[in-house]
């Protein structure tokens, strides 16, 4: 009887160890997956911005609504607004507004944006910091430089 009790206790400990390992592995996988999805959304936003910025002749960066969440306004050779990338304070997402009347096309991603900081010079737009918060509350940061291919040479 003693041997049977020892075997049952050892089998129980091994089972608890395996179940704990499985649940920890599952949690790690979910954390990595949500962070990877957020990173993909950030990369997608950078690609959309780069594709739009290529066609712009000039760019303007506004501290609207604040310096942590700026706005990018792109213009063509006739100084007409062709698009805007705007942080929306009501949903904390980046929206794209199209055309001179700034028709909101909706959010470009589902991850919350905690920082959207930009800068520009004659032919380049700098995404200084795009900081996204993943579903498991981890921060994902990225930055990039994009060229306005239609900008005049100074």
pLDDT, one tens digit per residue, over 61-87 is 998 788 899 999 999 999 999 999 999
Residue 89's φ and ψ, nearest 5 degrees, are -70, -20
Q: Please report the pLDDT score of residue 27 as a whole number.
A: 83
Instruction: Kindly compute the dihedral angle of the four CA atoms of residues 7, 13, 14, 20, in this order, to the nearest 10 degrees.
Output: 160
SS (H, E, C) 16-81: HHHHHHHHHHHHHHHHHHHHHHHHHHHHHHHHHHHHHHHCCCEEEEEEEEECCEEEEEEECCCCCE
pLDDT at 151: 76
What was the pLDDT predicted at 54? 94
The predicted structure's pLDDT at residue 116: 97
Q: Are 75 and 59 in contact (CB under 8 A)?
A: yes
Q: List the chain residues with pLDDT less than 50.
A: none
pLDDT attached to residue 94: 96
Q: What pLDDT does residue 65 have?
A: 80
DSSP state of 10: H
At 8, is the secondary structure helix, strand, or coil? helix
pLDDT at 154: 63
């Amino acid at each position: 009887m003693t041997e049977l009790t020892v075997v049952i206790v050892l089998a129980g400990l091994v089972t608890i160890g395996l179940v704990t390992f499985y649940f920890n592995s599952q949690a790690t996988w979910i954390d990595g997956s949500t962070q990877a999805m957020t990173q993909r959304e950030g990369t997608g936003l950078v690609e959309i911005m780069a594709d739009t910025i290529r066609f712009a002749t000039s760019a303007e960066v506004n501290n609207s609504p604040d310096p942590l969440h700026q706005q990018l306004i792109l213009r063509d050779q006739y100084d007409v607004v062709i698009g805007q990338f705007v942080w929306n304070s009501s949903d904390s997402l980046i929206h794209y507004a199209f055309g001179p009347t700034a028709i909101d096309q909706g959010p470009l991603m589902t991850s919350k944006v905690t920082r959207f900081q930009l800068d520009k010079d004659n032919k380049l737009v700098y995404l200084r910091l795009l900081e996204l918060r993943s579903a498991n509350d981890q921060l994902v940061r990225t930055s990039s430089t994009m060229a306005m291919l239609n900008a005049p040479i100074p």
